[in-house]
Amino acid sequence: MHISPDDSLLTRIVDELAERGWSQQDIFLPEALTRELALECCKRAAEGELAPAAVGRGPAQEVREGIRGDHIQWLEPGQAEPCDRYLGLMDRLRQALNRGLFLGLEDFESHFALYPPGALYRRHVDRFRDDDRRMVSAVIYLNDACWQPDDGGQLRMFFKDGVEHDVQPIGGCLVVFLSGEMPHEVLPARRDRLSLTGWFRRRGNEPFEF
């Protein structure tokens, strides 16, 4: 027995990713799991486990709030039951992506992210210059359903034809896109903005660390 999403939803995501490079599913995560993950994220934040996210890699890594202002904690399996259920779901999505797109995705890395009021993440792509293992980005929002457009915090995606699309960060919504090809940004929010962000990765050589 699987918990939702059912296989047809996973197939839709894979098909949309193949056709246009992204997919948005407003009702992806069950409500109860969304709530439990939000609580877990808030608990970790209250216990001081989330740290300001850095930009760049290796020795060039630094915290620059003007570019990226979220606080994050990387997930490890076996720490909390709701997180493990989330990781299980994402593994089913990974397998569906491999069956449909032959991407050879081998692992998934993810972190909680909390954007305090005013925090943003300027336009970027989710791939490092010296590390092309990240293939597909997956963001799931953990905010309550009362989130209003006025609260800000939209994910803005920039398509090749110049069109932009904004996603409201409402709890349970999933957005996936090709990591190396979709420039995007996070607009500042007026409330704490919670999410789980992750990347499906293919095998690659560990980049050379100085």
Rounded-to-integer distance, Cα 22 and Cα 136, Å: 9
Specify the residue, 43 or 123, whose C-beta has the smaller distance to Mn ion. 123
The least CB distance from residue 99 to ligand OGA, in Å, is 26
Decide: 83 and 108 in contact? Cβ < 8 Å: no
Strand partners, 194: 114
Decide: 101 and 131 in contact? Cβ < 8 Å: no
70 binding Mn ion? (CB under 5 A): no
Specify the residue, 100 or 151, whose C-beta has the smaller distance to ligand OGA. 151
The least CB distance from residue 193 to ligand OGA, in Å, is 7
Amino acid at residue number 140: I
From the list ligand OGA, Mn ion, none, partner contacted by residue 178 (C-beta under 5 to 8 A by kind): none
- Chain centroid to CA 31: how far? 18
Decide: 117 and 151 in contact? Cβ < 8 Å: no
Q: Which of 82, 126, 135, 171 touches ligand OGA (CB under 6 A)?
A: 126
Q: Which residues bind ligand OGA (CB under 6 A)?
A: 113, 121, 126, 139, 155, 184, 186, 195, 197
